[in-house]
Structure 1
């Protein structure tokens, strides 16, 4: 399935998602991001949305615009955020202060595996996935790392816009499949 096929499967009530999909997957519609970054963020968001046909379509799109290394980084980010967002959301929401003093003891080596521009790209995906997964602590952390790394607020907002559209499409199409 391609992105065009995906778009055609969206029902009329989700017309805004169709329009937004075309926009956010372009440099004009995602200010501050290049096509490789757009692809990486979309792929990470698709992984976190957990709807296989969407993930496959976005993976095909991403393969046209990002290197295999960038695609691996996007998947690695989605994987580690799948774990971290649960752990740190718990730590943020639980009212007992002792949890904040206990080491996580979770391996997170992939976070330190990237440097320079690759680090910023990884962090953009991590922020987008954290937004989908609703982890405020992780959103704050990745936002700070990105801004400290020279990424503009506009680019960060673009990454979250991509994630929101991808997630919305996953919700609609999964429900459409369930309804038959």
Structure 2
């Protein structure tokens, strides 16, 4: 099942979400690696298996094996990092900010694809998970790499739509 078919099954009260999925699929502002990489990263970041399956099918043949692996890896490492760094940021005891994380995250240094693309994927999942520290960190790296605010905003738009698709569908099934 394609992502369009999957989102087409959303009820009428989520018509805006269906229309937004269609807009993302027709998006021309991002190159395909970023577009489909963001879709795949955000699907995995949603942790909603039916959406993951639909997006995996949608992205089949549209991403290199390296880009697909990096998209999944971004979602995986952010699932861990977003919890840890959100805690260090929100905890009243600021001592945690100075402690080493002691978490393996080698994929961030060697993602197997263009570093800016991987950072964009990480930023999108960090936005989905509400980790301000991670959002700021990935945005700084992206800005240093010359990625403009419009591209960053596109990534967060992908995250918001994919999160909405997962949430509405999960609530009904």
Tell me the TM-score normalised to structure 1 length. Answer: 0.92
TM-aligned CA deviation for residue 48 of structure 1: 1.3
Which sections of structure 1, spanning at least 5 residues, go unmatched? none
TM-aligned CA deviation for residue 7 of structure 1: 2.2
Moved more, 126-135 or 2-11: 2-11
Tell whether the 8 Å contact from 1:43 to 1:59 is kept in structure 2 after alignment: yes
Alignment of 1:48-63 (within 5 A): 48-63=45-60
Partner Cα separation in structure 1 for residue 108 and residue 128 of structure 2? 18
- The reply to whether residue 14 of structure 1 matches residue 14 of structure 2 is yes
TM-aligned CA deviation for residue 114 of structure 1: 3.6
TM-aligned CA deviation for residue 112 of structure 1: 0.3
Moved over 4 A (4+): none
- The reply to whether residue 162 of structure 1 matches residue 162 of structure 2 is no
Structure 2 partner of 1:120: 116
TM-aligned CA deviation for residue 27 of structure 1: 2.9
> Which of 33, 44, 47 is residue 47 of structure 1 equivalent to?
44
Tell whether the 8 Å contact from 1:127 to 1:138 is kept in structure 2 after alignment: yes
TM-aligned CA deviation for residue 98 of structure 1: 1.0
Structure 1 partner of 2:140: 144
Tell me the TM-score normalised to structure 2 length. Answer: 0.96
1:55-104 Cα offsets, whole Å, 9 max, x none, are: 11111112232111000000111110000000000000011121111111
SS at match of 2:61: helix
Cα RMSD (Å) = 1.2
Structure 2 partner of 1:92: 89
